[in-house]
């Protein structure tokens, strides 16, 4: 930008602790067009002063030096005029304090406190603040306003729903209710999925105590009566090509193929029961005909015939074995979350059919999610339902032909052998995505969602922050393929996924990122002339946004892109840049900082900070008036994955003593907004080490730490330790070059 | 092979119907076992009993003496987070246990069911009226001044006719009671495997266990320790004393009138008469205290009385009121005395017959359990120090005294129920 206005706020202790006139001078030196300071910049007068300065001075951008970018962003919004925020409050005056040595009494005047030979605390504090002001101005100088990405093709507003069970039907109905078109593709010949095979289901709504007719019949009728929903049964999705907004779907129906264009996809392909044949030991499945799964028992109930498979005699007692092959590292390591309720429901149906019948439920833990505790209580009250925690020791046939369930660790304090007519194993759910990609994507990174083993094969993601999101933009999962869940939750889930699919199309229409940087109009632009076809970007993109041509040159798909900048961080040739975030910008910011002469006695460290988690943690630490070392400057980045090694090299050769990278937890239970950012940054530390070697520097000068957003209390110590380790290594030999 | 478990669904339903309708709510959090002074590490009381009852494990519950050691202080009910009301469930379980030892069971049903009330009093009325009609060869003369009998053979209801009603009834009740106690004792001691050397003689049984138990019951020490409010403890103790007094005077009068020829009514200055009237007053006072207490606790929500509880309390109250009332009316020379006397006899009839069937049976079974508890505790203690009864009698007695005192104190409290 050309005409940059710098506005320095003097409130919130900034004016008390800093020499504002010196800051103004630094801004002017750096080449801003206009500079002013005033109290309460965020107040009415402040904002209108900025607005009139923009008008009168013809400013094309502003740099607000005051509070963190995480606060008052709505106050400092000047339409088309871009705003850069320099954090003097959280970054300087609320987080840097003189520390007395033991027994020492510090003078009130910070310029009287000596922190190095001939250097006062105030000097260093001002150096820090001035560096921040300069970096802010430089950043704005290197900034170009992003333009929305406008695809050449017309967006398809149709939403494909894969699967016609409760979740799929609900998703399609919600899409239609919102005024868009939906297509349901169901591989069976009938809609309804698993719930259609049930006799009764749990009440969906208060008081959560009774059973009711399966809701799916009503949903099918609604779908069939809705002219915005097209239903294709007996068909499978063979191929998905393209990108959000314009997916080209190849369907296989009967012998033929069919083409379909959709904008977004809801995957609601559900689950299948765990293969019970693996449960012969210790449950006797396959060995004894009177040991059945909960799915088989559901079918028996739906038929209304409770006869023992072995000899056809009536079933008067049933033992339900919970967690059969679940929460078990040998089988399914997770809880399917519905089986306890399913067994309670089946016990209720059994008892309704025969009031002398006995239902035993042997559980590891009784887990009835949500308000279904009420259902549990109502069943617990039934005299014919016998509940106990238990470990199954064996299931075998007794002398009289009945099954005998032997259990230990019971609530009755003794081992028991319970004779029953039928044993029902509560086997768990396996998502359809566990061993089938389900979404046959024609992406460079292959079909299917990557790395689902983190979620036991479920099409899940980092659910705390982003429910419904998958690692393929424009494709949302709902129902039991997403997480194990009951009917009510699946309907909620489907509603959410449907709305996310619509939101995705809206974002593409507006030309900004879909998620999570929903406001972001910038996108990575490639300078193909300098590309060496190393394929790092196409391989590393966490979202499979980049395809490539036969030569290996990346082919961007901006509507798949989430703007994390992982490709930008990966590129060794630095050919990928955003309009508002590029190599030159940060390199120039590093250069804009004043580097002291050798033997100054104090250090200079730069920290690249993830703006999603680490930056708020630092801000929160500042609100607690934590103390950060004076020598560290922070530069917020999109993601740690968006830190290019070039910056590290520039920093090190520019005389910085150390580089700290603060990002999110990676690996299992990762917290990265972009799934792989901090993990990749960590992997790139090898390249960093190489760079340092070339410069003949110690590899310990560059350190990566993971910080969760709530770990603000740990940040000061972490920074202090970093500073101490730099002191141990000593000053950078590149100072003064 | 683990033990075969086949829950008795009817037992579960029985407990629920007998006032334990909250039984199934228990989810074994063990709050009750934490607040209950009877609970031990080996026997988490009443948590264990709750799940045994939920699982219809009748045999194990019947074999368990601790259900009788509970005096229903209802702390468990007050603290239960799930509203499972273990105190009430335990009362229902005890009622079921009484049924277990009762024969014929139809009588238990009559005593534990409002419909049975009409039948019982109907039978009592028929029996008393039949005796009156038989004695007088028709309608009796309602003479004034009122006289209930003229010796053994004559009058409104001659003494021998009264005996003819109550001796068989009391005998029958006593037989069933003894049978019940014997069954209970057998159930408890089966499989206990006490070595011969530790088994007491009958004399030792009486001196070491039965007599101390009686003392303990008299003192109501266990009851007092239960943390129950003073009124309940007191009321129950008064009732017990009244019953003892009335038992003694009834026997004196029985011998005096039937065998020694001292015709009733005896004058008011007669010490036996004074004693008897005092007993009646205490009986009324005690039952009023207990009724008030039970009402108050029900209002607090810590107790929900079953029919059997109220039946017994009001029966006792009516016995006291009608007994004293008949006497006063007789002295005043009002003919109404005859009717009240008949009602009094009916009540006594129902009480006597109900000894092994109504809640009154706790007198039998709780006392038995208290003896048993004393016995087992003592034997176990001696077995641990490996000192058979004969050798270290002195020492064991000294040691036993302390522990049995404590045990006694607890038992006494249950009596109050």
User: Does the beta carbon of A396 lie under 8 angstroms from any beta carbon of chain B?
Assistant: no
User: Does the beta carbon of B119 lie under 8 angstroms from any beta carbon of chain A?
Assistant: no
User: Does the beta carbon of B41 lie under 8 angstroms from any beta carbon of chain A?
Assistant: no
Same domain membership, residue B83 and residue B14? yes
Strands (E), A112-234: 114-116, 119-120, 158-162, 181-186, 201-202, 211-212, 229-233
Q: Measure the CA–CA gap between A137 and A83, rounded to whole angstroms.
A: 11
Axis crossing angle, helix B9-17 with helix B47-54, rounded to the nearest 10: 120
User: Does the beta carbon of B394 lie under 8 angstroms from any beta carbon of chain A?
Assistant: no
Residue B371 vs residues A541, B69, B222, B239: alpha-carbon distances, Å: 81, 11, 13, 21
pLDDT of the residue at B403: 47
Selected residue with higher pLDDT from B381 and A278: A278
pLDDT surpassing 70 at residue B412: no
Confidence of residue B387 (pLDDT cuts 50, 70, 90): low
Cross-chain residue pair A380–B51, CB shorter than 8 Å: no
Residue A419: list chain B partners with CB under 8 A: 4, 6
Same domain membership, residue B205 and residue B340? yes
Residue A340: list chain B partners with CB under 8 A: none
User: Does the beta carbon of B250 lie under 8 angstroms from any beta carbon of chain A?
Assistant: no
Same domain membership, residue B230 and residue B315? yes
The CATH number covering residue B171 comes to 1.20.950
pLDDT surpassing 90 at residue B37: no
Same domain membership, residue B96 and residue B119? no
Exposure pattern of A571-596 as b/e (b: 16+ CB <10 Å)? Answer: beebbbbbebbbbebbbbbbebbebb
pLDDT surpassing 70 at residue B407: no
User: Does the beta carbon of A418 lie under 8 angstroms from any beta carbon of chain B?
Assistant: yes
What digits encode the pLDDT tens for the residues B320-351? Answer: 999 999 999 999 999 999 999 999 999 999 99
pLDDT surpassing 50 at residue B308: yes
Cross-chain residue pair A388–B55, CB shorter than 8 Å: yes
* Residue from A317, A354, A373, A383 to probe the interface with B (highest B Cβ count within 10 Å): A383
Residue A149 vs residues A146, A469, A512, A524, A737: alpha-carbon distances, Å: 9, 22, 7, 10, 42
pLDDT of the residue at B221: 79
Confidence of residue B1 (pLDDT cuts 50, 70, 90): low
Q: Which residues lie below 8 Å from residue B347, measured CB to CB, with a gap of 6+?
A: B124, B315, B318, B319, B322
Domains A525-576 and A595-737 share a fold: no
Same domain membership, residue B292 and residue B244? yes
User: Does the beta carbon of B63 lie under 8 angstroms from any beta carbon of chain A?
Assistant: no
pLDDT surpassing 70 at residue A145: yes
Helices and strands (H and E) in chain B: how many: 19, 1
Same domain membership, residue B335 and residue B212? yes
> Nearest CA of chain B to the CA of A349: how many Å?
18
Same domain membership, residue B290 and residue B212? yes
pLDDT of the residue at B228: 58
Q: Are strands A429-431 and A658-663 parallel, antiparallel or unpaired?
A: unpaired
Architecture of domain A273-428: 3-Layer(bba) Sandwich (3.50)
Contact between A319 and A422 (Cβ < 8 Å): yes
Same domain membership, residue B305 and residue B228? yes
Closest-approach residue (CA) in chain B for A410: B51
Q: Measure the CA–CA gap between A327 and A406, rounded to whole angstroms.
A: 20
Residue B2: list chain A partners with CB under 8 A: 393, 406-408, 414-417
Q: How many C-beta atoms surround the C-beta of residue A492 within 10 A?
A: 17
* DSSP code of residue A579: T
Last residue of a domain, one of B346, B363, B380: B363
Does a structural domain hold residue B350? yes
Angle CA B49–B60–B85, to nearest 5: 20
Confidence of residue B227 (pLDDT cuts 50, 70, 90): low
> Nearest CA of chain A to the CA of B293: how many Å?
30
pLDDT of the residue at B220: 85
**Interchain CB contacts (distance < 8 Å): A and B:** 58
Least confident among A238-247, A459-468, B241-250: A459-468
Exposure pattern of A395-427 as b/e (b: 16+ CB <10 Å)? Answer: bebeeeebbbbbbeebbbeebbbbbbbbbbbbb
Cross-chain residue pair A412–B51, CB shorter than 8 Å: yes
> Nearest CA of chain A to the CA of B315: how many Å?
33
Closest-approach residue (CA) in chain A for B22: A381
pLDDT surpassing 60 at residue B395: no
In percent, how much of chain A has pLDDT > 70?
99
User: Does the beta carbon of B49 lie under 8 angstroms from any beta carbon of chain A?
Assistant: no
Q: Measure the CA–CA gap between A144 and A59, rounded to whole angstroms.
A: 14
Task: Give the DSSP per-residue string, B358-386.
Answer: SGGGHHHHHHHHHHHHHHHHHHHHHHHTT
Cross-chain residue pair B12–A382, CB shorter than 8 Å: no
pLDDT surpassing 90 at residue B199: no
Cross-chain residue pair B2–A381, CB shorter than 8 Å: no
Q: What is the mean pLDDT of residues A346-372?
A: 95
Burial level of A19, CB count in 10 A (0-12/13-18/19+)?
middle
Residue B55: list chain A partners with CB under 8 A: 386, 388, 412
User: Does the beta carbon of A105 lie under 8 angstroms from any beta carbon of chain B?
Assistant: no
Cross-chain residue pair A411–B28, CB shorter than 8 Å: yes
Same domain membership, residue B264 and residue B118? yes
What predicted TM-score, i.e. pTM, was given to this entire model? Answer: 0.85
Q: What is the mean pLDDT of residues A526-551?
A: 95
Last residue of a domain, one of B72, B101, B130: B101
User: Does the beta carbon of B115 lie under 8 angstroms from any beta carbon of chain A?
Assistant: no
What digits encode the pLDDT tens for the residues A184-242? Answer: 999 999 999 999 999 999 999 899 999 999 999 999 999 999 999 999 999 999 999 99
Same domain membership, residue B96 and residue B178? no
pLDDT of the residue at B258: 87
Instruction: Tell me which residue in B6, B24, B57 faces A380 most closely, judged by beta carbons.
Output: B24
User: Does the beta carbon of A388 lie under 8 angstroms from any beta carbon of chain B?
Assistant: yes
Q: What is the mean pLDDT of residues B17-44?
A: 91
pLDDT of the residue at B194: 82
Q: Pick from A666, A440, A446: which is nearest to A538 by CA? A: A446
The full set of domain ranges for chain A reads 1-145, 158-270+432-510, 273-428, 525-576, 595-737
pLDDT surpassing 50 at residue B404: no
Q: Is A586 helix (H, G, I), strand (E, B) or coil?
A: helix
Range of the domain at B87: 9-101
Q: Is A106 helix (H, G, I), strand (E, B) or coil?
A: coil
Backbone angles phi and psi of A549, in degrees to 5: -85, 175
> Nearest CA of chain A to the CA of B408: how many Å?
28
pLDDT surpassing 80 at residue B243: yes
- Cα A347 vs. chain centroid, distance in angstroms? 39
Cross-chain residue pair A415–B3, CB shorter than 8 Å: yes
pLDDT of the residue at B411: 43
Q: Is the dihedral of CA A337, A343, A348, A349 positive or negative?
A: positive
Same domain membership, residue B201 and residue B135? yes
* Residue from B22, B50, B55, B84 to probe the interface with A (highest A Cβ count within 10 Å): B55
Q: Is A405 helix (H, G, I), strand (E, B) or coil?
A: strand
Cross-chain residue pair B24–A382, CB shorter than 8 Å: yes
ipTM over the 0.85 cut-off: no
Closest-approach residue (CA) in chain B for A357: B9
Q: Measure the CA–CA gap between A161 and A186, rounded to whole angstroms.
A: 9
Q: What is the mean pLDDT of residues B70-92?
A: 91
Least confident among A8-22, A167-181, A409-423, B34-48: B34-48
Confidence of residue B415 (pLDDT cuts 50, 70, 90): very low
* DSSP code of residue B108: H
User: Does the beta carbon of A380 lie under 8 angstroms from any beta carbon of chain B?
Assistant: yes
Name beta bridge partners: A160.
A183, A265
User: Does the beta carbon of B52 lie under 8 angstroms from any beta carbon of chain A?
Assistant: yes
CATH code for residues A1-145: 3.40.50
User: Does the beta carbon of B24 lie under 8 angstroms from any beta carbon of chain A?
Assistant: yes
pLDDT of the residue at A378: 95
Q: Is A314 helix (H, G, I), strand (E, B) or coil?
A: strand
Q: Measure the CA–CA gap between A438 and A226, rounded to whole angstroms.
A: 27
Q: Pick from A369, A362, A314: which is nearest to A341 by CA? A: A369
Number of domains in chain B: 2
Q: What is the mean pLDDT of residues A341-353?
A: 97
pLDDT surpassing 90 at residue B405: no
Residue A356: list chain B partners with CB under 8 A: 9
User: Does the beta carbon of B150 lie under 8 angstroms from any beta carbon of chain A?
Assistant: no
Cross-chain residue pair A383–B12, CB shorter than 8 Å: yes
Least confident among B7-11, B36-40, B314-318: B36-40
What digits encode the pLDDT tens for the residues A544-591? Answer: 999 999 999 999 999 999 999 999 999 999 999 999 999 999 999 999
Backbone angles phi and psi of A386, in degrees to 5: -110, 120
Axis crossing angle, helix B86-101 with helix B159-189, rounded to the nearest 10: 110
What digits encode the pLDDT tens for the residues A434-472? Answer: 999 999 999 999 999 999 998 999 999 875 678 888 999
Q: What is the mean pLDDT of residues A86-101?
A: 95
> Nearest CA of chain A to the CA of B68: how many Å?
20
CATH code for residues A525-576: 3.30.70.20
pLDDT of the residue at A519: 87
- CATH class, range A595-737: alpha beta
* Tokens 């109930």 found at: A301
Fold of A158-270+432-510: FAD/NAD(P)-binding domain (3.50.50)
In percent, how much of chain B has pLDDT > 70?
91
Q: Measure the CA–CA gap between B237 and B219, rounded to whole angstroms.
A: 8
Contact between A65 and A58 (Cβ < 8 Å): no
Q: Measure the CA–CA gap between B368 and A27, rounded to whole angstroms.
A: 98
pLDDT of the residue at B413: 44
Instruction: Tell me which residue in B2, B28, B56 faces A406 most closely, judged by beta carbons.
Output: B2
Same domain membership, residue B293 and residue B216? yes
> Nearest CA of chain A to the CA of B27: how many Å?
9
């Amino acid at each position: 930008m050309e005409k940059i206005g710098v506005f320095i706020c003097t409130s919130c202790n900034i004016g008390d602790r800093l020499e504002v006139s010196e800051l103004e001078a630094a801004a002017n030196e750096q080449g801003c067009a206009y500079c002013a300071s005033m109290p309460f910049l965020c107040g009415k007068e402040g904002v209108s002063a900025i607005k009139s300065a923009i008008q009168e001075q013809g400013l094309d951008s502003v740099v607000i030096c005051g509070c963190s970018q995480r606060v008052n962003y709505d106050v400092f919004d000047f339409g088309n005029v871009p705003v850069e925020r320099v954090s003097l409050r959280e970054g300087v005056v609320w987080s840097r304090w003189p520390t007395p040595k033991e027994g020492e009494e510090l003078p009130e005047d910070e310029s009287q406190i000596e922190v190095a030979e001939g250097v006062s605390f105030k000097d260093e504090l001002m150096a820090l603040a001035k560096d921040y002001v300069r970096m802010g101005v430089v950043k704005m100088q290197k900034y170009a306003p992003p333009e929305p990405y406008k695809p050449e093709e017309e967006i398809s507003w149709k939403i494909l729903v894969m699967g016609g069970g409760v979740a799929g039907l609900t998703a399609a109905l919600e899409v239609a209710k919102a005024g868009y078109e939906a297509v349901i593709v169901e591989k069976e010949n009938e809609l309804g999925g698993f719930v259609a095979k049930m006799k009764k289901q749990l009440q969906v709504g208060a008081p959560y105590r009774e059973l009711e007719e399966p809701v799916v019949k009503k949903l099918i009728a609604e779908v069939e009566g809705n002219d915005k929903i097209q239903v294709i049964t007996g068909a499978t999705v063979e191929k998905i090509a393209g990108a959000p907004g314009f997916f080209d779907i190849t369907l296989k129906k009967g012998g033929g193929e069919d083409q379909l264009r959709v904008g977004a996809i809801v995957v609601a392909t559900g689950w299948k029961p765990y293969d019970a044949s693996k449960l012969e030991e210790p449950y006797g499945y396959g060995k004894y005909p009177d040991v059945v799964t909960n799915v088989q028992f559901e079918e028996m109930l739906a038929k209304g015939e409770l006869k023992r498979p072995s000899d056809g005699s009536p079933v008067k007692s049933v033992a339900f074995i919970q967690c059969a092959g679940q929460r078990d590292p040998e089988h399914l390591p997770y809880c399917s979350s519905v089986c306890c309720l399913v067994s309670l429901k089946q016990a209720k149906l059994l008892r309704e059919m025969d009031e002398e019948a006995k239902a035993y439920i042997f559980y590891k833990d009784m887990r009835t999610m949500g308000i279904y505790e009420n259902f549990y209580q109502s069943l617990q009250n039934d005299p014919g339902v016998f509940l106990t925690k238990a470990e199954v020791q064996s299931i075998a046939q007794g002398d009289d032909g009945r099954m005998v369930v032997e259990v230990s660790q019971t609530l009755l304090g003794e081992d028991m052998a319970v004779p029953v007519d039928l044993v029902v194993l509560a086997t768990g759910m396996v998502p359809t995505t566990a061993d089938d990609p389900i979404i046959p994507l024609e992406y460079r990174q292959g079909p299917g969602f990557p790395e689902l083993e983190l979620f036991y094969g479920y099409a899940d993601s980092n659910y705390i922050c982003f429910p419904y999101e998958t690692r393929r933009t424009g494709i949302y999962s709902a129902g039991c393929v997403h997480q194990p869940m009951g009917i009510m939750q699946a309907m909620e889930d489907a509603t959410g996924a449907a709305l996310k699919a619509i939101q995705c199309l809206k974002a593409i229409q507006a030309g900004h990122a879909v998620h999570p940087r929903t406001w972001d109009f910038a996108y990575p632009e490639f300078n193909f002339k300098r590309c060496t076809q190393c394929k790092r970007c196409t391989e590393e993109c966490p979202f499979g946004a980049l395809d490539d041509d036969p030569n290996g040159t990346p082919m961007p798909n901006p509507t798949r892109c989430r703007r994390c900048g992982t490709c930008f961080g990966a590129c060794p040739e630095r050919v990928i840049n955003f309009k508002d975030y590029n190599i030159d910008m940060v390199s120039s910011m590093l250069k804009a900082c004043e580097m002291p002469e050798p033997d100054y006695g104090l250090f200079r460290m730069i920290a690249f900070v993830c703006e999603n988690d680490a930056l708020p943690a630092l801000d929160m630490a500042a609100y607690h008036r934590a103390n950060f070392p004076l020598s560290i400057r922070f530069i917020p980045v999109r993601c740690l994955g968006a830190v290019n090694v070039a910056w590290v090299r520039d920093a090190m050769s520019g005389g910085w003593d150390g580089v700290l990278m603060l990002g999110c937890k990676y690996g299992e239970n990762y917290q990265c907004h972009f799934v792989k950012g901090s993990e990749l940054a960590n992997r790139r530390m090898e390249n960093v080490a190489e760079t340092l070697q070339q410069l003949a520097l110690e590899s310990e000068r560059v350190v990566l730490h993971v910080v969760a957003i709530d770990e603000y209390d740990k940040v000061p110590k972490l920074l202090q330790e970093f500073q101490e380790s730099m002191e141990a290594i000593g000053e950078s030999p590149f100072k003064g070059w | 092979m683990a033990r075969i478990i086949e829950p008795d669904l009817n037992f579960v339903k029985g407990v629920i119907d007998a006032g334990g309708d909250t039984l199934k709510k228990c989810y074994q959090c063990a709050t009750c076992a934490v607040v209950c002074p009877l609970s031990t590490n080996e026997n988490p009381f009443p948590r264990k009993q709750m799940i045994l009852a939920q699982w219809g494990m009748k045999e194990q519950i019947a074999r368990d003496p601790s259900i009788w050691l509970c005096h229903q202080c209802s702390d468990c009910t007050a603290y239960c987070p799930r509203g499972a009301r273990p105190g009430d469930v335990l009362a229902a379980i005890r009622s079921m246990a009484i049924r277990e030892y009762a024969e014929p069971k139809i009588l238990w049903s009559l005593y534990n069911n409002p419909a049975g009330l009409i039948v019982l009093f109907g039978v009592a009325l028929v029996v008393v009226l039949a005796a009156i009609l038989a004695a007088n060869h028709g309608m009796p003369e309602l003479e004034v001044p009122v006289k209930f009998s003229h010796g053994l053979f004559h009058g409104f209801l001659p003494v021998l006719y009264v005996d003819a009603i109550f001796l068989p009834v009391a005998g029958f009740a006593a037989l069933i009671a003894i049978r019940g106690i014997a069954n209970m004792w057998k159930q408890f001691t089966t499989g206990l495997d006490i070595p011969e050397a530790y088994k007491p003689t009958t004399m030792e049984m009486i001196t070491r266990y039965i007599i101390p138990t009686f003392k303990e019951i008299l003192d109501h020490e266990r009851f007092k320790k239960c943390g129950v409010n003073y009124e309940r403890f007191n009321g129950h103790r008064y009732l017990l004393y009244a019953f003892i007094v009335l038992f003694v005077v009834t026997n004196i009068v029985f011998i005096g009138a039937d065998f020694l020829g001292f015709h009733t009514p005896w004058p008011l200055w007669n010490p036996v008469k004074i004693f008897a009237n005092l007993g009646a007053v205490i009986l009324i006072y005690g039952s009023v205290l207990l009724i008030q207490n039970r009402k108050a606790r029900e209002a607090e929500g810590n107790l929900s009385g079953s029919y059997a509880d109220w039946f017994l309390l009001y029966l006792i109250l009516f016995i006291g009121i009608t007994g004293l009332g008949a006497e006063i009316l007789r002295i005043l020379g009002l003919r109404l005395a005859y009717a009240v006397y008949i009602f009094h006899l009916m009540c006594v009839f129902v009480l006597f017959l109900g000894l092994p069937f109504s809640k009154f049976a706790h007198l039998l079974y709780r006392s038995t359990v208290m003896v048993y508890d004393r016995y087992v505790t003592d034997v176990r203690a001696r077995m641990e120090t490996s000192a058979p009864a004969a050798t270290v009698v002195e020492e064991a007695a000294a040691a036993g005294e302390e522990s049995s005192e404590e045990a006694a104190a607890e038992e006494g409290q249950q009596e109050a129920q």
